[in-house]
Structures are given as structure tokens and as C-alpha cells.
Amino acid sequence: MTTPKATRCGGSEFVWGSRTYVMGIINATPDSFSGDGLAYNVDAAVEQGKRFLVEGADILDVGGESTRPASTPVSVEEEFRRVIPVVERLAREPGAVISIDTYKAGVAERALDAGASMLNDVWGLKHDPALAELASRRGVPIVLMHNQSGTEYKNLLADLLTSLRLSVEGALKAGVSRENIIIDPGIGFGKTAEHNLEVLRRLEDLQTLGQPLLVGTSRKSTIGLVLDLPVEERLEGTAATVALAIAKGADIVRVHDVKAMVRVCRMADAIVRGWSRREGGRTR
């Protein structure tokens, strides 16, 4: 299956295969696993977003509910309170592309009204299928992530592919255009550390679905387990997973440390996608 060549998002166009795009994480939560939660501090979240844009982020992913294991779900009203002011202010920044990280259609629609132009659903339509209808009606891209309760699989990659295929088919059936569907294997969600490493090792298998691929490994517990390091010391481990994910076909990487990971992406892209001194050092 041929992957779409480009996706429009707000005022930007993502040309798949030309380079790796960087999504910067803005956690408008008090309980982020990575220790960077900025709930109720709108000014700090906005300043972080502005810094990410200067550092080279292509997308700002704003989320108001932690998805770490054993986190407490929050109400729609609470999620509004955390994310909508941040989205509204960041959307005024020139060139800012805002993604809303939520699995609730009500929150997603309010965020789109506030200026977001991409949906990021960690449940791949399995929690709230109405997100697909919303993405179709508003003509925005949607990230569909693999997730499940528990870590039991008959066959890890086959089960993951089947689940993502059902998510993609659900989006298409709701009227979402194929170029507006991005898939995410869900590193750290419903998987053991061994599962996460296997998914990364076999990431190219996901290309059979024919959709652009987002990968989020930043600071995750698998890196901590492998390297025996706390969350604040996982930069190098994240860099290794980002570079290898790009070599295996990632189109977008979702990260906390934008400045460093933009550099990792540029170097990996120069190897994977090509580089020419005559083009001013830019990847083709």
C-alpha cells in the first residue's frame, strides 16, 4: 500500500519522506511521568511552546490528562480548564501547529475551536469513536495509537497490526481521508519493556498499513529499565531510539527535549534520506 505523499495541517504541509517532523510535548498536567507537568500554569506552558518553536518543533502536542500507568482519569471540564487556555494562546504564535492529545471528542472539538489543527488519540478510536467523525467533519489529521488494557498477546506484531488496521478502517469509514490518518505503535502502552524493544526492532513492519508513522519513545520507562536511569537522565537513550526509529521508517517523533532531538533527526535524516553540501547542508 502506498503511503500518502503529504498531509495538510493548519497552515503547514507535511511532505512524508522528505524529512522527520518533530512533535514537542506540552504536558498541561500535574502528574506527568516525565516530571514536566505544567497544569494550571498557562504562562509556563505557553513559554515552553514558544521555546519549542524556536528550537525547531514542527508540532506542539498539548495534553491535559496523564496517560502514565495508574494515572487518575480527569473530567472533560477539568481537561478544558487545563488545555484550552494553552491552545488558545499558542495558536496565536506564527507558524504554530497545535495537536490536542486527548481521547475525548468533546475536549478535541473545543481544542479545534481554540486553534488546534490535529488530533492525537492514544486509544485509536477504541475509547471514543466519535473522534473519527470529528476529524472527518473538521478535515483535520488524526493520530491513531495502538493501546490495550494488559500486556497479553498471541503474536505481538500481528496483534498490533490488526488493531491499528481496525482503527484505520474505522477512521476511513467515518469519512477521514487517508492522507489525514497517522499511526502510532504506542511504545509504552499495553506493552512490556521487551515488547517495546521488539516493536522498535520491527518498526518497518508497520509500513504495510500504508500510513505515515509517529513514534514516541521520549524518556519512557523502557529506556530507564535498559539503562537503569531515572527519567531526568534518559536523553541519550531517547536519542538512540529516535535515530533508530527514523532508520526504520518513522515520519514524526514525539519528544520532550526538542532542541537535542531536532539535531538527532537532522543527522539521522542526512544518513537515511540523503544530504548534499550543494543544498546548503539540508536534507533532500
Q: Please say if 254 is a catalytic residue.
A: yes
**Helix 156-173 and helix 193-201: axis angle, to 10°?**
70
Q: Report the Cα–Cα distance between both ends of the chain, in Å, rounded.
A: 23
Distances (CA, A) of 150 to 43, 189, 191, 225: 37, 9, 7, 19
User: Which one from 89, 219, 248, 254 is the annotated catalytic residue?
Assistant: 254
Please tell me the chain's helix, strand, coil percentages from 3-state DSSP, rounded to the nearest 5. Answer: 45, 15, 40
Q: Which three cell numbers stand for residue 133?
A: 467523525
Pairing relationship of beta strands 12-15 and 6-9 according to DSSP bridges = antiparallel
Task: Give helix 258-272 / helix 235-247 axis angle, nearest 10°.
Answer: 30
Establish whether 259 is a catalytic residue: no
**Torsion sign over Cα 181, 274, 255, 226:** positive
CA distance 188 to 172: 26
Q: Phi and psi (nearest 5°) for 38?
A: -125, 35
- Separation CA 228–CA 134 (nearest Å): 42
Kindly name the residue from 220, 259, 263, 282 that is annotated as catalytic. Answer: 220
- Residue 275: phi, psi to the nearest 5? -150, 145
Catalytic residues: 220, 254
